[in-house]
Chains A and B, each alone.
Chain A
Amino acid sequence: MGNFLRKDLLVLLRDRTELMILLLMPILLIVILSFALRGILGGDTSDFHMDVAFVIEDDEEQGVIDFIEDLETMGMPPEVMMELERVVEEVKPYTMLEDLMNNESVSNMVTVEELDFSEAEEALKNEDVTAILLIPEDFTYHSLKKMLLNEGDGSELKMTVKDYSSIRTDVFLSIVNRYVNTVNFETAISQALIDLGHGDVLADRAEGEVMEAREFGGVESISAREPITSFQYYTVSMAVMFVLFVGATIASKAYVEKKQHVFNRIILSNRHPIVYLGGKMISASVISFLQLIILFLVSTLAFRTFPLDEPAFWGGIAIIAIILAICVGGFASLLTALTVKYENDALNHIFSGGIVTLLALVGGSFFPTSEMPEIIGTIGNWTPNGAALTAFLKWMQELDMTTILPYLIRIVALAAILIISSILIFPKRRSL
């Protein structure tokens, strides 16, 4: 197999046209598309900005006063009262929301305008704002009661948006969700400690946890869903698209080998024909993997697309790349089997000229599928390139292998189907 790989690499390295298609073209497209379409992705914060309207019907100070008064009527020991009052100052829900919005990373993307409800509705209608966030009356009071005393039903923020499918809405929603999660986290901790009768510990714990949680809420919400820049998106999307061309390229070489009777020479060496097919599969897989890594590295070195100094990040990228490369090997294997069986190169042209473009479109290589109808995104995630694109992007955002596992399993399953089909189709003995 190494012999085939060495030979295929040498042949490819000396074919400048193919090299340009496989390496130079995607790099050019990464640059062109990244600059042309940089506004549509979340990571390009200089071009990505949204205004949101806050409609504040709550009076935070009054809410705190009302809550303290409630505490006084409950007859708690003075030391617990004191500690709770201190904690209240730390976990005032609206202040936490304000802090989050003032965080530099968020404020770069989101500008908050305080409007009354009718003004906000008008602004949303005119698309001056992306969303309205209503902080209802007695939000502070009800939230604190729920958080610290587990009384009542708490309070709900009300978000109104015009377009749920837009990326901006999605980003803002994720920020608000993170805030809500943080508040819920506070609530859970406080209640657990109170239920256990550790009122004295509550103060100490609460202060520590609140600080940690607030930091978590402010920073983690951004790092957990780190927005993707256009350079990152198009580096990945072009890579997963152009890697498919390797399949057709390798199968086309098989056609030339058949035409030039090199294939006969190989068969006459008494090697089992499957060795030849396996050679093609491995060559395509290795070349695909190298192509992916070269594109990622070139993009990183030229445009600082990805962090160079994070081994865990690159480890995940390598795993996804290997799995996608094996799938491309499967494509090469199937196309080779069909090419050799029917002595026809037409299928390779159809694959590289039409099928790859279709897969690229559905898989989100040209535009994010979130900008397209939902059904396209669903179908796209079942294509090898689409699934790989999603896996790469999710990995970049969350660095969590379990999140991307379903996508990797799809790619592996497709690779297995392609390889088994090619073995069944490939001529086994003499009718070559």
Chain B
Amino acid sequence: MLETEELKKVFKGKPAVDGVNLYMDKGESVGLLGPNGAGKSTTISMISSLIKPTSGDVKLKGQSVLKDPGIIRNVLGVVPQEIALYNELTAYENLKFFGRIYGLKGKELESKIQEVLEIVGLKERQKEIVKTYSGGMQRRINMAAAMLHEPELLIMDEPTVGIDPQSRSHILDTVRHLNQEKGLSVLYTSHYMEEVERLCDRVYIMDHGQIIASGTKDELKSILSGEETIWIDLDRPYPDLVTDLQSHDGIRQTIETEKGLKLIVPKGSKLLGSIFQAAERHQAQILNVNVQVPSLEDVFLHLTGRKLRD
């Protein structure tokens, strides 16, 4: 349905996006994962025809979006990272304005407004001024405005940044519902690993303007199939213990976390005994130990050497 070919954007001599190739099929939910500044927003701005690529092309159903932006605009809904609404208007007034912009009118417009308000769970509060809403509610209306014209493809740029858990959960459930029940194609960008894991069938991992890995969640995790993660909770930080473990031959990565340490070790390496001995040597008090299979976060760490939220 959608593909990009060697998409590139250069700002002031520096490439923000550098040769991105991605594709998505109809009804698919695809994640674009990467830290802030990875080039995700620039990529989706080019895909949605808002900015012109320096080189490369975007194709929708085989047709060049570069040549005719109208072909994607007609089927596209974009949920931007910013609250792209009129703060002084009510949710209803905003939706009415944007609905009319899309050519909806009369009963059809009214019915679509009520439908999207129902989907985002704000039907009861539609007559309130947007600026009086919580951040989460504003984001939900932001999303509703992108769905009024029943798009085939929904692009969501970090739609859950800075909102309360309840609204976040509501948005994620909504996207899942739209994708699975209504067959809406979704391109979801985020730096929240768990959101992408929860929503997306396939994932593109971006860093420094390039796609550094792609595939289904399982395919990506298989990159780390020979590894496992050991989470160790400590009563306080122990820098000497970290140094000690980093020099251990069997441990591939030692990362300090808020609660203690995260160790990437070869699968089935039976290193727990050595770890406990090291803790004893440094008189470190271990509160909890947890062994996990790798997550996408671990994959990202493995590929880039840094965490997603760095």
Contacts and interface: CB of A to CB of B under 8 A. Distances in A.
B80 interface: yes
A15 B69 CA distance: 35
B235 interface: no
B70 interface: yes
Contacts of A430: 49-52, 69
A20 to B, nearest CB: 15
Contact of B50 (A7, A15, A268): A268
A7 B86 contact: yes
B73 to A, nearest CB: 4
Contact of A432 (B50, B88, B98): B50
A14 B86 CA distance: 11
A10 B89 contact: yes
In the A-B complex, the 5 residue pairs with the closest CB atoms = A270-B73, A261-B84, A14-B88, A3-B100, A269-B101
A233 B37 CA distance: 59
Contact of B97 (A3, A264, A267, A271): A3
Size category of the B interface is 20 to 34
Contacts, number: 68
A265 interface: yes
Given A10-B88, A14-B129, A265-B98, 5 more contacts: A7-B86, A262-B85, A266-B101, A271-B101, A430-B50
Given A14-B88, A430-B50, A261 B80 contact: yes
Contacts of B80: 261, 264-265
Nearest to A264: B50
Contact of A264 (B69, B70, B84, B87): B84
A13 B55 CA distance: 45
Given A3-B100, A7-B97, A268 B48 contact: yes
Nearest to A13: B88
B251 interface: no
Nearest to B103: A269
A268 B49 contact: yes
Given A3-B100, A264-B80, A268-B48, A11 B145 contact: no
Contacts of A269: 73, 98, 101-102, 149
Interface string A383-417: 00000000000000000000000000000000000
Interface in A245-276: 260-262, 264-271
B260 to A, nearest CB: 41
Interface size, A (range):
20 to 34
Contacts of A6: 97
A234 B248 CA distance: 87
B78 interface: yes
A260 B98 contact: no
26 contacts: A7-B89, A7-B97, A10-B88, A11-B88, A14-B129, A260-B87, A262-B84, A262-B85, A262-B86, A264-B50, A264-B80, A264-B84, A265-B84, A265-B101, A265-B146, A268-B50, A268-B76, A268-B78, A269-B98, A269-B102, A269-B149, A270-B70, A270-B73, A430-B49, A430-B52, A431-B52
B54 interface: no
B82 A3 contact: no
A6 B94 CA distance: 11
Given A265-B78, A268-B50, A11 B89 contact: yes
B84 to A, nearest CB: 4
Contacts of B101: 3, 265-266, 269, 271
A161 B50 CA distance: 70
Nearest to A259: B82
A11 B90 CA distance: 10
A178 B277 CA distance: 117
Given A14-B88, A264-B78, A264-B84, A429 B102 contact: no
Interface string A1-34: 0010011001100110000000000000000000
A429 B88 contact: no
B93 interface: yes
B83 interface: yes
B74 interface: yes
A7 B88 CA distance: 10
B127 to A, nearest CB: 13
A5 to B, nearest CB: 11
